Amino acid sequence: MAQKPVIELEGIRRDFVVGEETVHALRGVSFTIHEGEFVTIMGTSGSGKSTLLNILGCLDTPTSGEYRLDGIPVRTMSKTQRAVLRNRKIGFVFQSYNLLAKTTAVENVELPLMYNSEVGSRERRERAVTALQRVGLGDRLNHKSNQMSGGQMQRVAIARALVNDPAVILADEATGNLDTRTSFEILVLFQQLHAEGRTIIFVTHNPEIAQYSTRTITLSDGKLREDRMNDTILNAADKLATLPVEEE
């Protein structure tokens, strides 16, 4: 495998000072993720998963350690530089969707491109429509966020994460608010995106989901406890077929 590294972490530490105490959320985490990997990050609640993902997504900076995203060292960057980096290289999917209220699907998906002055309004609209078609919402472009189900909203969020053609898609408990069937529908989508060559990092505390990714990194108390390539990767679409269709 001569894939190029997308994420390189060396001795990442993150301390939070809360009053008199210091919380060591990450205590020296190192790993490398290559292009095209589908990585799940596992661990119990409070193990540091979200803290790690925030650092990967350039929303937060490590207290110490080195982080290179797509070859670019992030630690020394200014706030503005990190904002631009997020805009061009990162796609976020959140547990709670975080769509703009009373705003159509296509406008929600356009949002990252709004902050990219290189993309004109025509191209922005076209790319948003393409991304929505990709997640199966080609017929719901002008539905407002409050007129959609949870699964549909998360699809819009995924389209929004895709629209800037990011180096990596970061998902934090992206299926956490969804029922089993809808969760698997979303998982099918992630597997498809992976099959198309996307790099995905998926944070979850649900061990079942890890079986559908190519690699599982397990955190425990801020440290990397296990980093394992998955030999047998299950197909989410197969699993979805076995699930009972819920009555409307």
Partner 1 sequence: MNITNLFKIALKAIGANKMRSFLTMLGIIIGVSSVIIMLALGTGSKATIMQEIEGVDPGALNVIPGPSYEDIDGNWLPEYSQTITQADYQSILEKNKYLKAICPMVYTSGQFINGKNNHSGSVQGVNNEFLDINGLSISQGDMFTDPEVKGASKVCILGKTVVDKLFPNEADPIGAVIRINSIPVRVVGVLKSKGRTAFGQDQDDIVLMPYTTVMKRMISQDYFDMIYVAATSKEMASLAKQDLTEILRENHKLREGDIQDFRVNSLEEATSMVDSVMNVLTLLLSCIAGISLLVGGIGIMNIMYVSVTERTREIGLRMSVGARTVDIMSQFLIEAILISVTGGLIGVLIGSGISYLARFVLLNFTEYHILISVEPWTVLLSFAICTITGIFFGWYPAKKAANLDPIDALRYE
Ligand X SMILES: Nc1ncnc2c1ncn2[C@@H]1O[C@H](COP(=O)(O)OP(=O)(O)O)[C@@H](O)[C@H]1O
Which spans of this chain sit near Mg ion (rule: CB under 5 A)? 50
Q: Check residue 80 for interaction with partner 1 (CB under 8 A).
A: yes
Strands 64-69 and 72-73 come out as antiparallel
CA dist 45 and 35 (Å) reads 28
Q: Which is nearer to ligand X, 16 or 115 (CB)?
A: 16
| Residue 186 CA: distances (Å) to CA of 14, 162, 180 | 31, 14, 10
- With 0-12 / 13-18 / 19 or more C-beta atoms within 10 angstroms meaning exposed / middle / buried, residue 86 is buried
The least distance separating partner 1 from the CB of residue 103, rounded to whole angstroms, comes to: 8
Q: Looking at this protein, which amino acid is placed at residue 195?
A: A
| Part in contact with partner 1 (CB under 8 A); list of ranges 65-73, 92-100, 186-194, 212-220 | 92-100
Nearest to 189 by CA among 109, 124, 133, 248: 133
Q: Check residue 100 for interaction with partner 1 (CB under 8 A).
A: yes
CA dist 233 and 141 (Å) reads 33
Q: Which is nearer to partner 1, 102 or 228 (CB)?
A: 102
Strands 72-73 and 90-93 come out as unpaired
Contacts of 93 (CB under 8 A, 6+ apart): 154, 157, 158, 161, 169, 170, 171, 172, 174
Q: Check residue 112 for interaction with partner 1 (CB under 8 A).
A: yes
Around Cβ 2, how many Cβ atoms within 10 Å?
A: 4
Q: Check residue 77 for interaction with partner 1 (CB under 8 A).
A: no
Residues 122-161 that bind partner 1 (CB under 8 A): 160
**Residue 79 interface partner, choices Mg ion, partner 1, ligand X, none, CB cut-off 5-8 Å depending on type:** partner 1
**Residue 204 interface partner, choices partner 1, Mg ion, ligand X, none, CB cut-off 5-8 Å depending on type:** none
Q: Which of 3, 46, 73, 114 binds partner 1 (CB under 8 A)?
A: 114
The least distance separating Mg ion from the CB of residue 59, rounded to whole angstroms, comes to: 13
Q: What letter does residue 4 receive in the DSSP assignment?
A: P
Q: Which residues of this chain interact with ligand X, rule CB under 6 A?
A: 16, 18, 23, 25, 43, 45-51
Alpha-helical runs (H) found in the chain: 49-56, 79-89, 105-114, 121-134, 150-162, 180-195, 207-210, 236-242
Q: Check residue 84 for interaction with partner 1 (CB under 8 A).
A: yes
Residues 38-57 that bind partner 1 (CB under 8 A): 54, 57
Q: Check residue 23 for interaction with partner 1 (CB under 8 A).
A: no
Q: Check residue 59 for interaction with partner 1 (CB under 8 A).
A: yes
**Residue 45 interface partner, choices partner 1, Mg ion, ligand X, none, CB cut-off 5-8 Å depending on type:** ligand X
- Residues binding partner 1 (CB under 8 A): 54, 57, 59-60, 79-80, 83-84, 86-88, 92, 94, 98, 100-102, 111-112, 114-117, 160, 164
